[in-house]
């Protein structure tokens, strides 16, 4: 039985002892039925991944002691997603998939045709945490406050490419644009529009900006969430961390979900 | 208001008149509130895409007359997906996304760790039809009967590459493998495993077959549905129909969903 992998806020270092949050204690004790002495894997986005041992577990309480570091913290994949939010089930799925695909941050952006008004950041954060736990990431992507497109573009750092997933059909294919592309240290971002697409005036404004690079996603019309996931996957395969193929998997005894 | 785009079984040719299925008639009349004289776009996977006009519409009935062909039928993208089925919401999503990404066929495959036993092909077919309508495809992907992995491999045509999405971390990256790859006329297929992955004995058997080409999908552990979508997107970008970037969009007056 592989140890569950949990994201925590606490610092992680040898022999530290601390209590897990109520929800995680409930999950370990009541859902997974783990007992004192059982192992867990813990990461906090700062100190790598650690093997811990359950020291005590009871009704909604769980104390763990850290034993040894399994993986050192590593540099984040320098890839970001800026996306016009989509409706409930699709945005949950999008956050999950973008986390698995390795985005460092997610920024919801309001465009002229965006119809989703409220973003439940707490719910989305929970999906990102769960996907990070499952995918063996060492971090949880940052989920930024929603912004308006004009404000976002006005603040955009000039040296950071913003790849516009362009449904107008005029852009060169994403494979052509990204072949051999080396992301700058600050990283690159994918920008996807709402279900209705960007308006002509938004597209005009975007394509005039020197850091905006339009990319095409083929001859079919993709849903907004499909476009985001497809663009992230192609980026990782051609310019991102999929080029170093090796899985950063924890040692076999601790490998979860297999 | 853009005309709705519908997949039909009927033959399509100039001046043909026929009745739509009950569900489509209800959708047009009651949901979309279309009336006689309004336009629809129709495709059947064989005769391209046609503009039709509603001749009569009433309670669950709708008669259309075809007026002119908008797009000729085109060759299918020679890309297929063979996948170990995942649970309900995820399999629906997978079929939708794979359709948007242009697969010609979907084949569920039972592996040693596959836990999903029943496939509701009718429900999956409905998702594929809807995604084809929305994505402006001219076809609906073929949804094959589920098969066992050994039988599928025993029948596999030798000239057709089967790209194994390999979570073991040993395979070269998918971007490296697919750069410059030209699919044979019979097409290529992506193969993805169940949530628990392929077993070691399945992987041994797979990698001994000359048509199986293992590809890696980066350093994180991907869910089965994420792996399938990511692999399809990278294939289309590097070796598939995304290389010809132009959207095959219907004339502006008929462009739906924008």
pLDDT digits (tens, 9 = 90+) for A64-100: 999 999 999 988 788 999 999 988 889 999 999 999 9
- Dihedral over Cα of B101, A175, A192, A230: its sign: positive
Burial class (CB in 10 A: 0-12, 13-18, 19+), A48: middle
**Contact yes or no for A91/A116 (Cβ under 8 A):** yes
Q: Does A230 touch chain B (CB under 8 A)?
A: yes
**Contact yes or no for B165/B231 (Cβ under 8 A):** yes
User: Which residue of B245, B248, B249 to mutate against A (max A Cβ within 10 Å)?
Assistant: B245
Phi, psi angles (nearest 5°) of residue B114 = -70, 125
Average pLDDT score, chain B:
91
Which residues of chain B does CATH 2.40.240.20 include?
Answer: 5-73
Note the pLDDT of residue B39. 97
Q: Does the pLDDT at position B250 exceed 50? A: no
Task: Give the pLDDT mean for A2-14.
Answer: 94
CA distance A248 to chain B (A): 5
Q: For residue B179, which residues of chain A lie inside 8 Å, CB to CB?
A: 179
Domain A5-73: CATH class, spelled out = mainly beta
Contact A242 B216 (CB under 8 A): yes
Q: Does A141 touch chain B (CB under 8 A)?
A: no
> In whole angstroms, what is the distance from residue B256 CA to residue B237 CA?
24
Note the pLDDT of residue A13. 96
Domain A79-238: CATH class, spelled out = alpha beta
Among A171, A236, A241, select the one facing B245 at the smallest CB separation.
Answer: A171
Q: Does the pLDDT at position B141 exceed 60? A: yes
User: Which residue of B72, B74, B220 to mutate against A (max A Cβ within 10 Å)?
Assistant: B220
Q: Does B115 touch chain A (CB under 8 A)?
A: no
Q: Chain B neighbours among A 76-105 (CB < 8 Å)?
A: 89, 93, 96-97, 100-102
Task: Give the pLDDT mean for B227-235.
Answer: 97
Residue B63's alpha-carbon distances to B58, B133, B197, B227, in angstroms, are: 9, 19, 49, 43
Which residues of chain B does CATH 3.40.1280.10 include?
Answer: 79-238
Note the pLDDT of residue B146. 94
**Contact yes or no for B216/B173 (Cβ under 8 A):** yes
Model confidence at B38, pLDDT cuts 50, 70, 90, reads very high
ipTM field: 0.91
**Regarding beta strands B79-83 and B105-110, do their DSSP bridges make them parallel or antiparallel, or are they unpaired?**
parallel
What is the greatest pairwise CA distance in chain B?
Answer: 61
Nearest-by-CA chain A residue for B252: A168
Model confidence at B162, pLDDT cuts 50, 70, 90, reads very high
- Dihedral over Cα of B190, A243, A93, B32: its sign: negative
> In whole angstroms, what is the distance from residue A165 CA to residue A178 CA?
13
Residue A219: closest CA among B137, B96, B252, B133: B137
**Contact yes or no for A174/A216 (Cβ under 8 A):** yes
pLDDT above 70 as % of chain B: 93
Q: Chain B neighbours among A 40-69 (CB < 8 Å)?
A: none
Q: Does the pLDDT at position A253 exceed 90? A: no
| Residue B204 CB contacts under 8 Å (≥ 6 apart), including other chains | none
Note the pLDDT of residue B25. 96
Note the pLDDT of residue A248. 52
Among A221, A222, A245, select the one facing B173 at the smallest CB separation.
Answer: A245
Give CA torsion, residues A41, A95, B220, B179, to 10 deg. Answer: 180
> In whole angstroms, what is the distance from residue A226 CA to residue B93 CA?
10
Model confidence at A256, pLDDT cuts 50, 70, 90, reads very low
Note the pLDDT of residue B184. 87
Note the pLDDT of residue B257. 38
CA atoms within 13 A of residue A154's CA, in its CB half-sphere: 5
CA distance A144 to chain B (A): 23
Burial class (CB in 10 A: 0-12, 13-18, 19+), B14: exposed
Residue appearing with tokens 């039809």: B129
Task: Give the pLDDT mean for B161-182.
Answer: 90
Note the pLDDT of residue A247. 53
* pTM for this entry: 0.92
Q: For residue A244, which residues of chain B lie inside 8 Å, CB to CB?
A: 173, 219
Over its C-alpha atoms, chain B yields an Rg (Å, rounded) of 20
Over its C-alpha atoms, chain A yields an Rg (Å, rounded) of 20
Q: Does A251 touch chain B (CB under 8 A)?
A: no
| Residue B120 CB contacts under 8 Å (≥ 6 apart), including other chains | none
Q: Does the pLDDT at position B174 exceed 90? A: yes
**Contact yes or no for B167/B203 (Cβ under 8 A):** no
- Three-state secondary structure call for residue B42: strand
Beta bridge partners of A108: A83
Contact A195 B240 (CB under 8 A): no
- Three-state secondary structure call for residue B105: strand
Residue B87's alpha-carbon distances to B111, B143, B225, in angstroms, are: 14, 17, 10
> In whole angstroms, what is the distance from residue B205 CA to residue B207 CA?
6
CA distance A59 to chain B (A): 30
| Residue A97 CB contacts under 8 Å (≥ 6 apart), including other chains | A131, A225, A228, A229, A232, B226, B229
Residue A242: closest CA among A116, A138, A101: A101
Q: For residue A246, which residues of chain B lie inside 8 Å, CB to CB?
A: 169, 216, 219
Q: Does A248 touch chain B (CB under 8 A)?
A: yes
């Amino acid at each position: 039985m592989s140890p569950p992998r949990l994201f925590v806020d606490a610092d992680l270092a040898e022999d530290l002892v601390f209590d897990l949050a109520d929800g995680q204690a409930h999950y370990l004790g009541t859902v997974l039925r783990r007992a004192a002495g059982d192992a867990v894997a813990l990461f906090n986005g700062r100190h790598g991944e650690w093997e811990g041992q359950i020291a005590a577990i009871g009704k909604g309480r769980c104390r763990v002691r850290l034993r040894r570091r399994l993986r050192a913290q590593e540099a984040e994949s320098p890839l970001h997603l800026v996306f016009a939010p989509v409706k409930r089930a699709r945005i949950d799925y999008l956050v999950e998939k973008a986390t698995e695909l390795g985005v460092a941050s997610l920024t919801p952006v309001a465009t002229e045709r965006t119809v989703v008004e409220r973003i439940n950041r707490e719910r989305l954060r929970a999906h990102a945490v769960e996907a990070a736990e499952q995918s063996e990431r060492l971090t949880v992507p940052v989920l930024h406050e929603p912004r308006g497109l004009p404000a976002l573009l006005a603040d955009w750092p000039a040296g950071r490419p913003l790849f516009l997933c362009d449904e107008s059909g005029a852009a060169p294919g994403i494979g052509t644009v990204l072949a051999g592309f080396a992301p700058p240290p600050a990283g690159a971002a994918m920008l996807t529009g709402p279900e209705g697409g960007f308006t002509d005036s938004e597209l005009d404004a975007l394509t005039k900006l020197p850091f905006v690079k339009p990319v095409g996603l083929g001859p079919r019309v993709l849903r907004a969430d499909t476009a985001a996931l497809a663009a992230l996957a192609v980026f990782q395969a051609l310019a991102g961390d999929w080029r170093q193929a090796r899985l950063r998997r924890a040692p076999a005894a601790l490998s979860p979900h297999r």
